[in-house]
Structure 1
Amino acid sequence: MTRNVFVVGVGMTNFVKPNTGGDYPEFAKQAALDAIKDAGIKYENIEQCVCAYASGDSTSGQRVVYQIGMTGIPIHNVNNNCATGSSALFLAKQLIEGNIADIIMVLGFEKMRQGPLRGNFTDRSAPLEKHIAKMKEMTKILPGPMTPQYFGNAGLEHMKKYGTTELHIAKVAAKNHRHGARNPRAQSKRAYNVDEILQSRKIYGPLTKLECCPTSDGAGAAILMSEDAVLQFGLQHKAVQILGMEMATDTPSLFREKSFIKLVGYDMTVDASKRLYEKTGVSPKQVDVVELHDCFATNEIITYEGLQLCGEGEAGKFIDAGDNTYGGQVVVNPSGGLIAKGHPLGATGLAQCAELVWQLRGEAGERQVPNPRIGLQHNLGLGGAVVVAMYKKGFTSYQPKKMSKL
């Protein structure tokens, strides 16, 4: 029988511009200790640790965890591009479900190089070389960073196919900057209006600088427990249940069809979210708060449809109606998302988890969503992987309730 899994403690550092906040052992230790303190347990209670980072060297996880304690427990090191943090969560959840462990710490951290993402090696095949070749089939590849070209082209395709406009893209970015201004841990705490966003420097296609996430340093952590462990430690008041979590990778449609939207992982999102809704019995219309992977504002637009928050081709109408923010259908990225909060790759999935835990506990301060019952997480990595997870406040019966207006 599959066991229920709960998040009982979370921690997150400030996300900052690379090389302005110390080294990764320092801020990763801080996030881990904060999560342990939040859970109200001791490090010695932890049976395994799953560490997530995308740009560090091997056994960076041990380098961090040894500072907290050397108890000889298994320490796993996970790398899955931008979905690294949620992939670590997915692994830890499975270990608890499978009765391998009862208490696991998941720790995500990143110390990034300044500037756009780039590969670490030039003497071997690049992981995304087939994705690059596919993009080259469909358009001319320009000099400069590749990721804005992937997501900028996907945005152009959505605009051509469904009538989405640059104004819609700017509205999404403005919404996330507005939310991020309420988040003391966010890298960008300034609220920009739509005009400022449209007038910021063009990066590629419809994307401006303020519609793109920054590179970041930072860390996040979560303590996961089985139901037996929650009861043993008396942590029912802290516990947030992971109702379901699905991971998907690309299908042949990625290379068979000529679509930039598919190239950036849309089908993975659709597949994972469909399975999640079916297995949990919760519909997308019952979700109150979402943390999704807005590496670029165009990807947030595409993801609304992939997660079935609105119908295919209806993202523009969804945005214009204000259904993606406070007072609307669902609050998307109350943390500010990757665009405002920042995107230290290995920590992003843990930061999303932490935000949803705070929201469901009612501990999110100025950015608190009114009376949330169900939280949804979406974390995407090109190459590819996507993890979609659903959370609810633990040890309470779920009854869908329409969110009140602010």
Structure 2
Amino acid sequence: MSQKVFVAGVGMIPFAKPGQSGTYIEMGAQAIRQALQDAGVDYRKVQQAYAGYVYGDSTSGQSALYEVGLTGIPVINVNNNCGSGSTALYLARQAVESGAVDCALAFGFEQMQPGALKSHWLDRPITYGKGHEVADAIFPEGRDMPDALKFFGGAGREHMEKYGTRMETFAAIRAKASRHAANNPLSVFKKVVTTEEVMADQVIFPGVMTRLMACPPTCGGAAAIVVSERFAKQHGLRTDVCILAQALVTDQPEAFEPPSLISIVGVGMTRQAATEVYEKAGVGPEDIRVCELHDCFAHNELLTYEGLGFCPEGGAERFVMDGDNTYGGQVVINPSGGLLSKGHPLGATGLAQCYELTHQLRGTADKRQVANLQHALQHNLGLGGAGIVTLFGRA
């Protein structure tokens, strides 16, 4: 029989630009200590730990965790691209739900370098080769672009060509992110920018994207403690936030055939994972009032609105123009500021989303608070691929 899983504690350090943060060891350990303190749990009570990161050597998770304590527990290192943090949370939740343990730790960190993401392994085949093959066939002029720009910018261009979406709509998404981030002391960027300022920024994909529409490389760490109901009662822990449903999926054939950059960047994974979560929890997108989603580019945020079912396919521009993605609208998207403004330390991102939504459901999100919440949806994406959707609820 499965056990209920509660988020007993969360921790997150302020995100920073590369070169302005501590080491991944310091960031990871600090976030873990915060989560333990928030939960009121002694580290010696933790039975398993899952560490999410992308750019690091083997057993980097142990290096960070050893700063907190040496208890001999299993430590599993997780690399699922930008979905690594949520994958760590998925495994921790699974361990508790199955009854294998009663208290598990999920944490993530990333010590990133400036500039576009790139492979550090040049003597072997690249990952997501099938995606590159399709992208290069559809969009040969993008071969020399950085991979993320080629994939997500190309997908945004496809949406523009198919549905008439304007570049200004992506700029409006970025401007909305900045307004939300202004109220988040942990965001790397807090300056509010207008749609016009986003449009006037440096062009990195003519007719499709300016620099401000892409998330910045960021360093940071975040963590969560998940526990069973039995453990929470035994130790007097809070049980106000629970994980109602969670799905982790990978690509299916439809991702590659028929060829489409929108499919290549994981909209199919998003749709499948969201459907599984909605069905398991007995809710629908109309029940969601707050969502932290994977806005690595403003273009992916727009695509994800449709993948999560917040609007019909082709209806995302109207969703934005009607203000349905912010306070006073249908669903507040990324009250934290999202990846675009809060930052995107790859391994920490999914757990930073968990941090934000936990505080939203607790009612402790301060100026970012969304009123009258019962549910909170999280979407995290790693190309290559991993699509993770998590539904949190008030217990």
Q: Distance in 2 between matches of 1:305 and 1:249?
A: 18
Would you say 1:286 and 2:282 are equivalent positions?
no
> Is the CA contact (8 Å cut-off) linking 2:332 and 2:370 kept in structure 1?
yes
> Is the CA contact (8 Å cut-off) linking 1:50 and 1:77 kept in structure 2?
yes
Q: Distance in 2 between matches of 1:189 and 1:273?
A: 30
Deviation digits for residues 26-64 of structure 1 (CA, Å, limit 9, x no counterpart): 111110000000001111111111111111100111111
> Is the CA contact (8 Å cut-off) linking 1:12 and 1:31 kept in structure 2?
yes
Residue identity over aligned pairs, in percent, reads 48
Residue correspondence of structure 1 range 334-349 to structure 2 within 5 A:
334-349=335-350
Which AA in structure 2 matches 1:234? G
Secondary structure of the corresponding residue to residue 104 of structure 2: strand
> Is the CA contact (8 Å cut-off) linking 1:52 and 1:85 kept in structure 2?
yes
> Is the CA contact (8 Å cut-off) linking 1:148 and 1:207 kept in structure 2?
no
> Is the CA contact (8 Å cut-off) linking 1:302 and 1:315 kept in structure 2?
yes
Q: Distance in 2 between matches of 1:254 and 1:292?
A: 20
Which AA in structure 2 matches 1:80? N
> Is the CA contact (8 Å cut-off) linking 2:14 and 2:187 kept in structure 1?
yes
Deviation digits for residues 208-236 of structure 1 (CA, Å, limit 9, x no counterpart): 11110000100000000011111112223
> Is the CA contact (8 Å cut-off) linking 2:136 and 2:143 kept in structure 1?
no
- Following superposition, the deviation at residue 239 of structure 1 comes to 3.5
Q: Which of 200, 213, 216 is residue 215 of structure 2 equivalent to?
A: 213
Tell which deviates more after alignment, 238-247 or 35-44.
Answer: 238-247
The TM-score, its normalising length taken from structure 1, stands at 0.95
Q: Distance in 2 between matches of 1:59 and 1:349?
A: 20
Would you say 1:223 and 2:225 are equivalent positions?
yes
Partner of 2:271: 270
Q: Distance in 2 between matches of 1:29 and 1:161?
A: 46
Partner of 2:9: 9
Partner of 1:399: none
- Following superposition, the deviation at residue 139 of structure 1 comes to 1.5
Partner of 2:77: 77
Q: Distance in 2 between matches of 1:37 and 1:224?
A: 13
Which AA in structure 2 matches 1:191? V
Q: Distance in 1 between matches of 2:205 and 2:253?
A: 27
Tell which deviates more after alignment, 156-165 or 35-44.
Answer: 156-165
Q: Unpaired runs of 5+ in structure 1?
A: 395-406
Secondary structure of the corresponding residue to residue 54 of structure 1: coil
Deviation digits for residues 369-391 of structure 1 (CA, Å, limit 9, x no counterpart): 11221100000010011100000
> Is the CA contact (8 Å cut-off) linking 1:323 and 1:331 kept in structure 2?
yes
> How many correspondences in the alignment?
393
- Following superposition, the deviation at residue 311 of structure 1 comes to 1.1
Q: Distance in 1 between matches of 2:155 and 2:126?
A: 21
Q: RMSD in angstroms over aligned alpha carbons?
A: 0.9
Partner of 1:158: 159
Which AA in structure 1 matches 2:8? V
Residue correspondence of structure 1 range 3-402 to structure 2 within 5 A:
3-140=3-140, 141-205=142-206, 206-236=208-238, 239-394=240-395
Which AA in structure 1 matches 2:287? Q
Secondary structure of the corresponding residue to residue 256 of structure 1: coil
> Is the CA contact (8 Å cut-off) linking 1:248 and 1:271 kept in structure 2?
yes
In the TM superposition, structure 1's runs of 4+ consecutive aligned residues that sit over 3 Å from their partners are: none
